[in-house]
C-alpha cells in the first residue's frame, strides 16, 4: 500500500467533491502600524469547492498573500467569517492551529523556504515528524512524495546542490507528504525560469486532477493562471466578480 493510494483515498473521503473547502464571508483585514492603517482585504467573500484549482491574480499589494495567509490560519481576519474545511480555524489555540495546519494544509512559497542544512529527504520528512508514523512509514511517504515530483534520484542532495526548479519541487513534496486536503501556493513559479515553471505547474495540475487536491495559487503570470479552473482577481483588497 503506497502513499499515493492513501492520497487518492483521502481525496474521495471525508470531504466529498461537492464540499466547500474554503468559505469566506465578508472577510476584511486591516493592518495598523502607528498612525497608518492599511486595508489589505476589504469585505472579501469567496467559496472554494473541494477539488478546485483557483488562481488568484492582482497587482502587487492587492492582498493576495494576505488572503492566502487567512486561509492557512497564519493570520486572522479583522472582521468577517472564514470557515476552512468546515472549521472555524480562529477558535483554535496556537497548538491546535499548528496541528491543524500540519494535517490539512500544504504551503508552497515563492522562495521555496527549504532548510539549507537538511537534505531533500529530510526537508520532506519534517512535517511527518509531527505525526505518529513509524520511521519506516515516514521513509515510504517521503520516497513516494519525492518520486511524485520526479526527484527520486535527488533525495540526499542538499538544497544548494539543486536547481531552483528542483528546490521548488522538493518544497511541493514537503507540502503534500502529509496528504493535506488543501494546497496553497504563493507565486510558486515567481522565481523560476519558464521551463522549471512549467514543470511545477504540471505537478500542481497532476495533484489536482489525479489526487483531487484543492489548489489555491497566487500568480502574476497568465500562463500559470491558465492551469487553473477559476481565475479570481483582487484589487486594492477587493475581490472582483468572476470574469471581471
Partner 1 sequence: MAIPISYNLRNMRLRKGLTAMTALGIALTVATAVFLMALVAGLNKAFATTGDAQNVLALRKGSDAEMNGGFSLDTVQTLRSLPGVAKTADGQPMVSGELVTIIVLPRKDGTGEVNVTVRGTRPVGIAIRPNIKLAEGRWFHSGQREIVVSKSIHGRFAQSDIGQSMRFGKGDWTVVGVFDSGGSAYDSEIWGDVNQMQSDFDRMGGVSSVYLRAVDTASAVTLAQRINDDQRLHLDGVLETAYYGKQTKSGDTIKFVGTFVAFIMAIGSSFAAMNTMYAAVAYRSREIATLRILGFSRFSILTCFVLESLLLSLLGAAGGILMMIPFNGMQTGTQNQSTFSEVVFALHMTPGVVITAVLFAVTMGFIGGLAPAWHAARQEILVALRG
Ligand X SMILES: Nc1ncnc2c1ncn2[C@@H]1O[C@H](COP(=O)(O)OP(=O)(O)OP(=O)(O)O)[C@@H](O)[C@H]1O
Choose, by CB under 6 A, the member of 15, 49, 65, 159 that binds ligand X. Answer: 65
CA distance 11 to 199: 23
**34 sits near ligand X (criterion: CB under 6 A):** no
User: Smallest distance, Å, CB 128 to Mg ion?
Assistant: 28
Between 38 and 117, name the residue whose CB sits nearer to ligand X.
38
CA distance 8 to 82: 27
Give whole-number Cα distances, 63 to 88, 96, 184, in Å.
21, 26, 15
**169 sits near partner 1 (criterion: CB under 8 A):** no
User: Smallest distance, Å, CB 56 to partner 1?
Assistant: 18
**189 sits near ligand X (criterion: CB under 6 A):** no
Q: Which stretch in 1-9, 26-34, 59-67, 176-184 sits in contact with Mg ion by CB under 5 A?
A: 59-67
**174 sits near partner 1 (criterion: CB under 8 A):** yes
Please classify residue 135 by burial: count the beta carbons closer than 10 Å to its beta carbon, then call 0-12 exposed, 13-18 middle and 19+ buried. exposed
Q: For residues 48 and 55, is the Cβ–Cβ distance under 8 A?
A: no
Choose, by CB under 6 A, the member of 5, 31, 96, 117 that binds ligand X. Answer: 31
**161 sits near partner 1 (criterion: CB under 8 A):** no
Choose, by CB under 8 A, the member of 1, 18, 60, 94 that binds partner 1. Answer: 94
**From Mg ion, ligand X, partner 1, none, interface partner of 60 (C-beta below 5 to 8 A by class):** ligand X
Which residues make up the interface to partner 1 (CB under 8 A)? 69, 72, 74-75, 94-95, 98-99, 101-103, 107, 109, 111, 113, 115-118, 122, 126-127, 129-130, 174, 178
Amino acid at each position: 500500500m503506497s502513499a499515493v493510494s492513501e492520497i487518492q483515498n483521502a481525496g474521495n473521503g471525508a470531504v466529498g467533491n461537492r464540499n466547500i473547502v474554503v468559505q469566506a464571508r465578508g472577510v476584511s483585514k486591516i493592518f495598523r502600524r502607528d498612525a497608518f492603517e492599511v486595508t489589505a482585504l476589504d469585505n472579501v467573500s469567496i467559496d472554494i469547492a473541494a477539488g478546485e484549482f483557483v488562481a488568484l491574480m492582482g497587482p502587487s499589494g492587492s492582498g493576495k498573500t494576505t488572503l492566502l495567509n487567512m486561509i492557512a490560519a497564519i493570520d486572522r481576519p479583522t472582521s468577517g467569517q472564514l470557515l476552512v474545511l468546515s472549521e472555524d480555524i480562529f477558535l483554535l489555540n496556537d497548538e491546535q492551529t499548528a496541528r491543524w495546519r500540519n494535517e490539512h494544509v500544504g504551503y508552497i512559497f515563492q522562495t521555496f523556504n527549504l532548510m539549507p542544512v537538511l537534505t531533500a529527504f529530510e526537508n520532506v520528512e519534517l512535517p511527518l515528524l509531527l505525526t505518529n508514523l513509524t520511521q519506516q512509514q515516514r521513509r515510504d511517504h517521503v520516497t513516494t512524495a519525492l518520486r511524485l515530483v520526479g526527484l527520486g534520484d535527488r533525495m540526499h542532495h542538499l538544497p544548494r546542490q539543486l536547481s531552483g526548479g528542483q528546490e521548488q519541487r522538493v518544497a511541493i513534496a514537503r507540502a503534500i507528504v502529509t496528504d493535506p486536503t488543501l494546497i496553497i501556493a504563493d507565486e510558486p513559479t515567481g522565481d523560476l525560469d519558464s521551463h522549471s515553471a512549467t514543470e511545477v505547474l504540471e505537478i500542481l495540475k497532476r495533484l489536482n486532477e489525479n489526487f483531487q487536491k484543492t489548489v489555491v495559487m497566487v500568480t502574476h503570470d497568465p500562463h500559470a493562471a491558465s492551469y487553473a479552473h477559476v481565475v479570481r482577481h483582487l484589487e486594492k483588497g477587493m475581490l472582483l466578480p468572476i470574469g471581471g
